[in-house]
A and B are shown apart, each in its own frame.
Chain A
Amino acid sequence: MPYVGPAPSNRLASAADIEAGAVDSSELASGAVDIAHLSATGTASSSTFLRGDNSFASAGLTGVTTGSGNVTITSGNLIVASGNGVDFSATSDGTGTDSSELLDDYEEGTFTPTMYGDTTAGTPNYDARGGAYTKIGQLVHFTCYIRMNSLTSAAGALCIGGLPYTSNSNSVGTLCPLLTDTVAWTNVEGGADYLMGNLWASDTVVGIMEVTDDAAWAYVESAAAIASTDQIYLSGSYRV
């Protein structure tokens, strides 16, 4: 039968022949198009998903595995934005008053301790010194050592300074054990029974105190206490 007008073309329909929105779910029977007939790069499988850039990609996150309710990072770190952390509020609480159940900081590093007199700092000559700290949440733990050659012209309480963080204003009563080597305790106002570091509130200072049986506690006088080769090892934990 002859056509009137141009003969119909037998070319395949192209995207230009189908208007945008012309085919929607009402024109397609359920299951009419399966994954195998979608054009995308990559491999369709039970472990891949179709991404918005028209490619099949592995499900999950690189370096992260999940299973049995656990999330495991097999490579890399969990990076928490500043001000956020790990929330433990779902766990049972102690009998005290909670102030926070958010673990929001961890850091480790070094610091440089100093030795001086409180009234007059004096001139320290260090043979060796060093300190290390670990901060977990609001608690700082530190260890340090100082070996002196001399501390001249110092006056007032003997102090160890240079702690890595400023202590909390409620840090009164934070004590720090210390070990001394060759420090002549007879120079400590008649000889103390033991020495103890007293960390000052809102500060970075540990004052060295002498404790003597049946006597008032007192700070060690820096002028007499320290001589060549004297060493002090000090550690402690305090809130910031």
Chain B
Amino acid sequence: MALVEKTIVDKIEVVGDFKHVQVRQDNLIVDDDTDEIKSRGNFHRYVLSPGDDLSDQPDDVAAIANAVWTDEIIAAYAAHQAEQMV
């Protein structure tokens, strides 16, 4: 039996006015011979903001982001960021 670490995207959420895409990864420990999952729930998160580069993202994450990030959303988020500067 060989144990290997495998990272999967187990949750994709679109949140907030600016359609941020929240991605949760689970770092699984898997038996390489049987594919039995030995350990799960080791989460790592990141959030994609409108206009972010999606070239390194998994296909399903990129598809969701491209679907919700309209030009209007991207422009609104850019304006929102400018407003954060005091």
Residues of A in contact with B (beta carbons under 8 Å apart):
107-112, 118, 133, 157, 162-166, 169, 198, 200-205, 207, 217-219, 240
Contact = CB atoms under 8 A, between A and B. Distances in A.
Nearest to B86: A217
Contacts of B45: 109-111, 133, 164-165
Interface stretch (B14-22, B30-38, B54-62, B63-71): B14-22
A215 B24 CA distance: 42
30 contacts: A107-B43, A109-B43, A109-B44, A110-B43, A111-B45, A111-B46, A157-B85, A162-B46, A164-B45, A164-B46, A164-B47, A165-B22, A165-B45, A166-B15, A166-B16, A166-B20, A166-B22, A166-B47, A200-B84, A201-B84, A202-B16, A202-B18, A203-B18, A203-B84, A204-B20, A205-B81, A207-B84, A217-B86, A219-B86, A240-B15
Contacts of A219: 85-86
Contacts of A201: 84
Listed from nearest, the 9 A-B pairs whose CB atoms lie closest are A109-B43, A164-B45, A166-B20, A200-B84, A204-B47, A110-B44, A166-B16, A111-B45, A166-B15
Contacts of A107: 43
Nearest to B14: A166
Q: Which interface residue of B17, B22, B42, B85 has the most chain A CB atoms within 10 A?
A: B85
B17 A169 contact: yes
Contacts, number: 65
Interface residues of B, number: 19
Contacts of B46: 111-112, 162, 164
Q: Which interface residue of B15, B22, B24, B84 has the most chain A CB atoms within 10 A?
A: B84
A172 to B, nearest CB: 9
Contacts of A204: 20, 47, 49
Given A109-B24, A166-B18, 15 more contacts: A110-B44, A110-B45, A111-B44, A111-B45, A112-B44, A166-B22, A200-B81, A202-B16, A203-B18, A203-B20, A204-B20, A205-B81, A207-B84, A219-B85, A219-B86
Q: Which interface residue of B17, B45, B47 has the most chain A CB atoms within 10 A?
A: B45
Contacts of A218: 86
Contacts of B85: 118, 157, 207, 219
B47 A202 contact: no
A219 B81 CA distance: 14
Nearest to A219: B85
Contacts of B47: 162-166, 204
